Amino acid sequence: MIFTEHITGMEIVRLVAETKAKISKFKAEGKTIGFVPTMGALHQGHLSLTEASVKNNDITIVSIFVNPTQFNNPNDLTSYPRTLEDDLEKLSIYNPDLIFIPEVNEIYPEPDTRIFDFGLLDSVMEGKNRPGHFNGVAQVVSRLFDIVTPNDAYFGQKDFQQVSVIKQMVKDLKLNVNIVPCPIVREKDGLAMSSRNVLLSKEQRKNASKISETLFKACNLAGELNVTQLKNWVVEEINKNSYLSVEYFEIVDDTTLEQVKDWNESNNKVGCITVQVGKVRLIDNVTF
Ligand code: AMP
């Protein structure tokens, strides 16, 4: 279906071969390529990555692909919001050069059986709670990098652990791609923007702001409480709200993702949280 091309002047490509051919042409002209991989249902978080890419590269390519191999929960995959027409309209503000919207069989003509080993990076937090998730992320991102061959690839710090895994993957596969982490974009009340936020009921949405509110307060309390006390405080504070249930809250070193037990142990500490809001799982993090 090519019903959306008329909305904007952006070029929409659905086939791998066509995308590769266009990129070869850009490269032959000496142009730098910025790449923003997304799963669609775009919001200002995604657009901030697009804006950064457009600013810093000759050519920007945005992909929209809901990658089945990174969903460990089939219901999550089926209920994942899909809003293509809206997405294209939002992207047109930044006018990226190519929008790559492949079907599943374009990305995976055969099942991807590769198993990646990221050690601790994918065995804690999201890796522990969503088995296979980061393996699926590595499969799709490596495949997309192979097609797009970007100079720069833009990822949001909202998915903090994902950035660590992708950086490691780039190292392991010896890829020549510069990973550019971008700051978390938040709603007015502090809630980290997420495609899944639209799945929240009005009441759930209102109460979800308690997550970031508590993380910000935790930053101020870090001088007064030790690490264990602070972790317990965050979990108790959020769980007091009947709409919210904390899956985990960890304070980790931002490079190794090892748990920090004492404030002096690591220079760069990040508090990562996952909260279940009804059936919706929301993640967020804050730097201490
Ligand atoms: P997704 O469509 O959820 O796979 O996200 C695509 C990219 O957008 C990932 O690099 C995310 O980390 C990034 N992203 C999602 N939400 C935000 C946000 N609130 N702020 C910044 N980046 C984000």
Q: Give the whole-angstrom CA distance, residue 23 versus residue 4.
A: 22
Give residue-wise pLDDT tens across range 187-241: 999 999 999 999 999 999 999 999 999 999 999 999 899 999 999 999 999 999 9
Give residue-wise pLDDT tens across range 131-183: 999 999 999 999 999 999 999 999 999 999 999 999 999 999 999 999 999 99
How does the average pLDDT of the chain come out, rounded? 96
Q: Return the ligand 1 atom nearest residue 186 CA.
A: 19
pTM assigned to the model: 0.96
Q: Is 43 a catalytic residue?
A: no
- Grade residue 267 by pLDDT with cuts at 50, 70 and 90: confident
Of 158, 157, 278, the C-alpha closest to 208 is 278
**3 state DSSP class of 251:** strand
Q: What is the pLDDT of residue 9?
A: 64
Please check whether residue 58 is in contact with residue 26, taking contact to mean a CB–CB distance below 8 angstroms. Answer: yes
| Number of CB atoms found within 10 A of residue 228's CB | 11
Query: Is 6's pLDDT higher than 50?
Result: no
Please check whether residue 104 is in contact with residue 120, taking contact to mean a CB–CB distance below 8 angstroms. Answer: no
Find where tokens 């979800």 sit. 208
Q: What is the pLDDT of residue 86?
A: 96
| Number of CB atoms found within 10 A of residue 53's CB | 27
Return all residues near 196 (Cβ < 8 A) that are at least 6 apart: 80, 81, 280, 281, 282
Q: Greatest CA separation found in the chain?
A: 58
List pocket residues of ligand 1, CB cut-off 6 Å.
38-39, 45-46, 48-49, 155-156, 158-159, 182, 184-185, 192-195
For strands 269-277 and 280-287, give the pairing. Answer: antiparallel
Question: In order of start, what are the domains of the chain with their CATH numbers?
Answer: 5-182 (3.40.50.620), 195-282 (3.30.1300.10)
Cβ burial 181-220 (10 Å sphere, 16+ → b, else e): bbebbbbeebbbbbbbbebbeeebbebbbbbbebbeebee
Q: Return the ligand 1 atom nearest residue 41 CA.
A: 2
**3 state DSSP class of 18:** helix
Q: Give the whole-angstrom CA distance, residue 214 versus residue 212.
A: 5
Q: What is the pLDDT of residue 8?
A: 59
Q: What is the pLDDT of residue 191?
A: 98
Q: Return the ligand 1 atom nearest residue 157 CA.
A: 12
Give residue-wise pLDDT tens across range 240-256: 999 999 999 999 999 99
Q: What is the pLDDT of residue 2?
A: 44
Residues, the chain, total?
Answer: 288
The whole-number average pLDDT for the span 17-28 is 98
Q: Whose CA is nearest to atom 13 of ligand 1?
A: 156
Ligand 1 probe mutation, 90, 158, 199, most atoms within 8 A of CB = 158
Query: Is 7's pLDDT higher than 60?
Result: no
Residues of the chain above pLDDT 70, percent? 97
